[in-house]
């Protein structure tokens, strides 16, 4: 099995294990709409969930109170960054090798 398929499988297992928590977070954000750049409840909820999951969370990124960066560096993988914006998650590899 290639690296991409193996990693996708690991991500799927982790997401499935946190299914109820992720649905609760999504439902809470949906039930409490906030204006752009004023997503204080959503940012707090998301950054706390990531912090509780073992990520190092930096709040107030890019001079915005509601922006945050969550990072985790497993021993066997290069560092990754997960950015969440309005429910979108984008990962950026900090290293070109996986």
Cβ neighbors of 86 (< 8 A, separation 6 or more) are 39
Task: Give the pLDDT confidence score for residue 84 in this predicted structure.
Answer: 58
Return the pLDDT at 41.
Answer: 96
pLDDT of residue 54: 87
DSSP secondary-structure letter at 95?
A: S
For 29-93, the DSSP string reads HHHS---TT--HHHHHHHHHHHHHTT-EEEESGGG-TT-EEEEE--TTS--EEEEEETTEEEEEE
pLDDT given for residue 85 in this prediction: 56
pLDDT score, position 35: 94
Mean pLDDT by 10 residues, the chain (98 residues): 87 91 94 94 95 91 92 66 54 44
pLDDT at 83: 56
CA 22 to chain centre: 11
pLDDT at 94: 46
Q: What is the pTM of this model?
A: 0.69
């Amino acid at each position: 099995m290639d690296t991409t398929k193996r990693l996708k499988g690991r991500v799927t297992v982790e997401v499935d294990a946190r299914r109820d928590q992720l649905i609760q977070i999504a439902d809470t954000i949906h039930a409490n709409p906030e204006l752009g750049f004023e997503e204080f409840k959503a940012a707090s909820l998301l950054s706390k969930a990531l912090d509780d999951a073992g990520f190092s969370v930096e709040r107030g990124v890019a001079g915005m109170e509601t922006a945050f960066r969550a990072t985790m560096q497993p021993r066997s993988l290069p560092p990754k960054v997960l950015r969440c914006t309005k429910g979108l998650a984008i990962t950026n590899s900090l290293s070109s090798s996986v």
